[in-house]
Amino acid sequence: MAHLLASAGGAGFLWLICGLLPVQALSNLNIADENLGSDRDNASYTKTDYLIADKLNTEDFPLINKQEKSEDVGLQNPANSLPQTTPNSANSSRSSDRLAQVTSVSQLSDVQPTDWAFQALQSLVERYGCIAGYPNLTYRGNRALTRYEFAAGLNACLDRVNELIATATGDLVTKEDLATLQKLQEQFAAELTTLRGRVDAVEARTAELEANQFSTTTKLNGEAIIAAVGATGGAPDTDDPNIILVNRVRLNLTTSFTGKDLLITGLQAYNFLGGADGTGSVQETLGLASPLLSASSARTSFEPQFPGVNARDLSAVGANSLQVYKLLYIFPVANKLTLFAGTAAETSDAFPTITPFYGEGQESISRFASLNPVLRVSGGTSGTGLASAAGFIFNISPSLDFRALYGNANANLPQKSPDEAVPGTGISTTPLGAGLFGGSSVIAAQLTFKPSRDIDIGLNYANSYHEINILGTGLISSDIGALGGVPADTPVKLNSVGGTVTWRFSPKIALSGYGAALFVDDSSGAVDASTTFTSWMVGVHFNDLFKSGNNAGIIFGQPLYRSDASGAAELGANRATPYHLEAYYRVKLNDNISITPGGFVLFNPEGDSTNETTTVGVLRTTFTF
């Protein structure tokens, strides 16, 4: 045996087996195992809000710039891959990993004529043609191997020898080589049997998965949030609310018909209360909510903007009622141009969020911290897919991206209701108007650019119109009655500008902040009134704090505040600049479960000096699947 292995043919077989290992033995088994688990792994999507910005920022959508974010729907995530359209697509996607047949030893960059086994390799290439190299054209001849690997390589070589014999080329195989192969086959008979058993088991598992797969074009994943929320403080002469336990569950279906397009269908249910007058919400109990639709600065990030009510017609939405919160179709039309349209969408779906604090189930716990207010104007982030919207994404360059959309909240209503929702206010039961191009609407745009790999900048503009006197952000109680002292049924127009910057000055620490100004004017012509709202935020975000996968944030800023008013508009009494201070720490228990304790403190909440300093504490548990 030793003499045989020392010969060119014997030594060649040993080197042959080393070369064949990645392609003939373990690689195929590993690929099969990974493919079997790919659905499970891809379901670990920690941000299931399904931003278009994230869903398109993948290799499957090369037209869109990739945003570097801490999570990200997330998006950042193994789930950010487009569903394949054929059952065999998983294997085809790995074609780049397969090793090519070597026809000459000179193709292997790390094998030199001076190497002691050069002649053996050359002989095997010329006589048997069964040497394979790695994709980078290396051979890695000094790599150690296990008995299983040796058996797998030997089995592959035997197949090649049998093929040569069957094609009447037996003269290329010497009797000594055949004797050596026979002895090796006998010696490794047990390992070969084990290997065949493993292959059979993988084939059986693959067949079972193919027979029971959900769809060849659609992937299903989701998120469930269960949180305890408590608060203290609020308006004078109000009692602290009890600690409440709330939930929000989302299921998302992502479908591709061509491999380049994407249809997103999102279902959700939640048990937050509020209704048209805010009854049952934490902010209403604190006395910090608007009298209509419960807008407030004391709101959590994962709470819908209009809990317990359909803002289109003010009808009630029962706790844990199933609803469609996302219905959106995205498709490329040119090399750098992608279009999207849907009947349940949000502004943040199309625009990269820039700040690392966004992630309703994973990052900041307040509505204030996660997004620039300009994105939230006109119900742009209602959490219920309020708007019907259409727009485009234009990739000017790898570092410059421009996006715009038109959205309308009541596109499905043919006429505005003549009935009053609240007697004496003039507000109808369809307060946002009616028709695709009538009633409340928004035209929004964002320019995103990366001057360097560590800096992301987003510039936002939104032009909005409302049938009633609102901002539509849900961020402060003055959101309703934006023009102070002006009737509630007064139409208004808004011009909103803002910017967001994130600087990752180290791999695990980022500085982020935003600034925004909302200019509100009367649109009725009956009164002359205008108001300016401003807001800003700065924060520090930590990745992998204390342990890999654990994130944290510290945030400070000013919620939206009336900084100026003219004409019939009033600034209000007891004015004081409001401030927001927040901290949270997300603990990643495993790939599918995280727990985030955190809290935020409101100073001069709602811009009123008579309101007490308010603290809101949250313990959020998030399940992703």
Q: Environment class of residue 483 by beta-carbon count within 10 Å: exposed (0-12), middle (13-18) or buried (19+)?
A: buried
Provide the residue type at 469 as one letter. N
| pLDDT recorded at residue 51 | 46
pLDDT in tens, 517-547: 999 999 988 889 999 999 999 999 999 999 9
Q: What is the DSSP string of 394-411?
A: EEEETTEEEEEEEEETTT
Is there a contact between 534 and 516 (Cβ–Cβ < 8 Å)? Answer: yes
d(CA 333, CA 340): 10
> Domain check: are 265 and 206 in the same one?
no
Determine, yes or no, domain membership for 550.
Answer: yes
Give the N- to C-terminal CA distance of the chain in Å, as an integer: 55
Determine, yes or no, domain membership for 64.
Answer: no
| pLDDT recorded at residue 342 | 94
> Domain check: are 231 and 126 in the same one?
no
How many Cβ atoms sit within 10 Å of the Cβ of residue 89? 15
Question: Which contiguous run of DSSP H or E holds residue 197?
Answer: helix 189-212
d(CA 529, CA 566): 6
Work out how many domains the chain is built from and give that number.
2
Determine, yes or no, domain membership for 78.
Answer: no
> Domain check: are 247 and 384 in the same one?
yes
Determine, yes or no, domain membership for 68.
Answer: no
Provide the residue type at 313 as one letter. D
d(CA 482, CA 562): 9
Determine, yes or no, domain membership for 201.
Answer: yes
End residue of a domain, out of 184, 212, 240: 212
Determine, yes or no, domain membership for 47.
Answer: no
End residue of a domain, out of 191, 212, 233: 212
Q: Environment class of residue 312 by beta-carbon count within 10 Å: exposed (0-12), middle (13-18) or buried (19+)?
A: buried
> Domain check: are 107 and 237 in the same one?
no
d(CA 326, CA 193): 52
| pLDDT recorded at residue 339 | 96
> Domain check: are 148 and 233 in the same one?
no
Range of the domain at 481: 218-624
| pLDDT recorded at residue 192 | 84
| pLDDT recorded at residue 420 | 76
Q: Describe the chain by its helix, strand, coil percentages, rounded to 5.
A: 25, 35, 45
Q: What is the DSSP string of 33-91?
A: HHHHHHHHHHT--S-TT--HHHHTSSTT-TTSPPP--S-------TT-SPPPSSTTHHH
Q: What is the CATH number of the domain that holds 234?
A: 2.40.160.10
> Domain check: are 293 and 314 in the same one?
yes
| pLDDT recorded at residue 177 | 79
> Domain check: are 222 and 202 in the same one?
no
End residue of a domain, out of 196, 212, 228: 212
d(CA 459, CA 505): 21
CA distances from 173 to 7, 185, 451 (A): 14, 16, 63
List of residues 6+ apart from 56 with CB closer than 8 A: 63, 64, 262, 330, 338, 393
> Domain check: are 414 and 376 in the same one?
yes
d(CA 274, CA 285): 10
Select from 195, 156, 151, 209 the least CA-distant residue to 29: 195
Q: Which residues of the chain have pLDDT under 70?
A: 1-101, 129-131, 153, 168-173, 214, 424
> Domain check: are 524 and 500 in the same one?
yes
Determine, yes or no, domain membership for 81.
Answer: no
Determine, yes or no, domain membership for 454.
Answer: yes
> Domain check: are 328 and 194 in the same one?
no
Is there a contact between 394 and 401 (Cβ–Cβ < 8 Å)? Answer: yes
> Domain check: are 281 and 236 in the same one?
yes
Handedness of CA 472, 477, 482, 485 (dihedral sign): positive
Q: Is 612 helix (H, G, I), strand (E, B) or coil?
A: strand
> Domain check: are 132 and 10 in the same one?
yes
